[in-house]
Amino acid sequence: MFRRKKIVVNTSLIVLAIAPIVLYAYEYGPDPGYSAAPGDNPTGCIDPANGCHLGTPNSGKGSIKIVASGGTTYVPGQTQTISVTIADSTEKQYGFQLSARVDSSPKTTQAGTLTPGNDTFTQTICVDNSFPTAKGCSIPGSTMGTIQWIEHTLQGYDASKTTSGSYTYKFSWTPPATNVGTVTLYAAGNAVTGTLQVTGTNTYLTSLQLAPGTGSTSTPSVTAVDNDASFAPTIASGSWVALFGTNLAPAGDSRLWNTSTEIVNGKFPTSLDGTSVTVGGTPAYVEYISPTQVNIQPPDGIGTGQVPVVVTTSSGQSTAFTATVAAIAPGLFPATAPYVVAQHADNSYVTSASPAKPGEVIVLWGTGFGPASPVVPAGQVFSGANSLANSLTATIGGNPATINFAGVVGAGLVQINVQVPANATAGDTPVVLTVGGTVSTQSTNNMIPIS
């Protein structure tokens, strides 16, 4: 692992004939004491004389956010996943430092243990710039001798430039073994230009207070498992599925996967911020999480019939919810009620202000229409256009409609190019698709507007 160090660059701009400029940056990770926790530099590294950045904290157009997998509580001794996201679309690379403190004595008392992730993008340091031993930090003669800080490494800093607008660092935090009252996680983040300079950068500060709990109140609970397009209560392997319930993710944590960092070698993640799902005992692929909704792609081969769905978070495991699984469970993605998503040939959307016309070919989007030929495996990035293995028919307003193309064009995503019947009646008109003998069932929206 790289050691932190201050980089000094002497830059002489000969053409402008000015004196050399000394520029500092902590791309290896800052020295201890810049998390803005009590006793730390309160500005989170707004200190150019010591190699930090210029500016006023939280004055930029971005933000920093801490998300704990346990929400706003901790269970003594129970490890949580911590995510720190620095967002700023005006900058190119991102770094951070975080410290966990016991609120009753925040300047001198560390709250639990901070453990870097296995990706080598984070590191933990003590007040004397050493790395903690197996017993943590213990620096004789210092009032902050047990305090730990966790921060980015050079590898993490370099990795942050692969994303656009934000970057998320992940690591573990194990709370104290006993109830010590409320604790607070303090974090400072820098969004920088990617060059070794103190100007043109933004610093952001935040904190997250956690209260002691038993863990029982935040156990996840699943109340519904539906097709993510139609919201009908029948799902299929490889389709997109929405789970509804409570405590399905940490409080305040609502996000899609990060396609730059969480889709690895073309494989979708099976966990986001500690939330994972199994369908029939097999891990599903997790696209979106929030405390009340999680979107997944079930794996291939889960069978049909009544299948258990279980959500697991750091707070525990939900009681199995029995979902109905079919080989085919077609649904069209909804737009503003009462319409489904439909597009004209120029990719603009079919709306009441821009209705479809008789004889026009429009594009519909759905999921759960059964396998493609060749098969498109679940859980993998796919770019192509594989036709559906089963025959598809359509009616619009009860009139047969010609299908020009129907196939899988992305993981779990089906595109249908259908011609509006020449005799279609003007007004809001229902669309019904039948694939392999199974009729699409929309729980709400199933119309398109026709002029």
Q: What is the pLDDT of residues 117-138, one digit of tens each?
A: 888 999 999 999 899 988 889 8
Assign 11 a pLDDT band (cuts: 50, 70, 90): very low
How confident is the model at residue 252, as a pLDDT? 79
**205 and 177, same domain (yes or no):** yes
Among 1-5, 102-106, 333-337, the range with the most confident prediction by mean pLDDT is 102-106
- Do the Cβ atoms of 175 and 80 come closer than 8 Å? yes
How confident is the model at residue 251, as a pLDDT? 79
* Range 50-53 contact pairs with CB under 8 angstroms and sequence separation of 24 or more: 50/24, 51/6, 51/24, 51/25, 51/26, 51/198, 52/24, 52/26, 52/198, 53/190, 53/192, 53/198, 53/201, 53/203
**63 and 171, same domain (yes or no):** yes
**207 and 304, same domain (yes or no):** no
- Which of the 8 DSSP states describes residue 159? H
Instruction: Check residues 11 and 277 and name the one with the higher pLDDT.
Output: 277
**316 and 356, same domain (yes or no):** no
How confident is the model at residue 175, as a pLDDT? 94
Instruction: Answer yes or no: is pLDDT of 16 > 70.
Output: no
Instruction: Check residues 201 and 319 and name the one with the higher pLDDT.
Output: 319
Find the mean pLDDT for residues 18-45.
Answer: 67
Find the mean pLDDT for residues 26-34.
Answer: 80
Phi/psi for 161 (5° steps) reads -80, -5
Find the mean pLDDT for residues 286-303.
Answer: 95
Using alpha carbons only, give the angle 294, 291, 258 rounded to the nearest 5 degrees: 55
Assigned domain for 256 exists: yes
Assigned domain for 1 exists: no
- What pLDDT digit, counting tens, does each position of 382-412 carry? 999 999 999 999 999 999 999 999 999 999 9
How confident is the model at residue 100, as a pLDDT? 97
Assign 147 a pLDDT band (cuts: 50, 70, 90): very high
How confident is the model at residue 52, as a pLDDT? 57
Find the mean pLDDT for residues 339-355.
Answer: 96
Assigned domain for 308 exists: yes
Q: What CA–CA distance (Å, rounded) separates 199 from 429?
A: 58
How confident is the model at residue 10, as a pLDDT? 33
Assigned domain for 196 exists: yes
Assign 447 a pLDDT band (cuts: 50, 70, 90): very high
Residues 6+ apart with CB under 8 A from 279: 296, 298, 299, 302, 307, 308, 309, 323, 325
* Boundary of a domain, candidates 178, 196, 216: 216
How confident is the model at residue 287, as a pLDDT? 97
Instruction: Check residues 170 and 162 and name the one with the higher pLDDT.
Output: 170
How confident is the model at residue 17, as a pLDDT? 28
- What pLDDT digit, counting tens, does each position of 40-78 carry? 988 766 554 454 555 688 988 899 999 998 888 898 888
Q: What CA–CA distance (Å, rounded) separates 194 from 201?
A: 9
- Total structural domains in the chain? 3
Q: Domain range holding 236?
A: 219-325
**418 and 434, same domain (yes or no):** yes
**71 and 207, same domain (yes or no):** yes
What single-letter amino acid sits at 216? S
Assigned domain for 312 exists: yes
Instruction: Check residues 198 and 345 and name the one with the higher pLDDT.
Output: 345
Instruction: Answer yes or no: is pLDDT of 444 > 90.
Output: no
**388 and 360, same domain (yes or no):** yes
For residue 149, what is the domain's CATH number?
Answer: 2.60.40.4060
Instruction: Answer yes or no: is pLDDT of 8 > 50.
Output: no
Instruction: Check residues 439 and 164 and name the one with the higher pLDDT.
Output: 439
Instruction: Answer yes or no: is pLDDT of 414 > 90.
Output: yes
How confident is the model at residue 441, as a pLDDT? 83
| Measured distance between the N- and C-terminal CA atoms of the chain, rounded to whole angstroms | 65
**168 and 20, same domain (yes or no):** yes
104-118, 209-223, 409-423: range with lowest mean pLDDT: 209-223
Find the mean pLDDT for residues 222-232.
Answer: 94
Assigned domain for 2 exists: no
- Which of the 8 DSSP states describes residue 146? T
Assign 330 a pLDDT band (cuts: 50, 70, 90): very high
How confident is the model at residue 15, as a pLDDT? 31
| Mean pLDDT over each residue of the chain, to the nearest integer | 87
**24 and 52, same domain (yes or no):** yes
For residue 365, what is the domain's CATH number?
Answer: 2.60.40.10
- Do the Cβ atoms of 271 and 313 come closer than 8 Å? no
**133 and 165, same domain (yes or no):** yes
14-23, 142-151, 175-184, 343-352: range with lowest mean pLDDT: 14-23
Global confidence as pTM: 0.62
Assign 23 a pLDDT band (cuts: 50, 70, 90): very low
How confident is the model at residue 265, as a pLDDT? 93
Q: What CA–CA distance (Å, rounded) separates 40 from 56?
A: 16
* Boundary of a domain, candidates 261, 290, 325: 325
Find the mean pLDDT for residues 371-376.
Answer: 96
How confident is the model at residue 218, as a pLDDT? 78
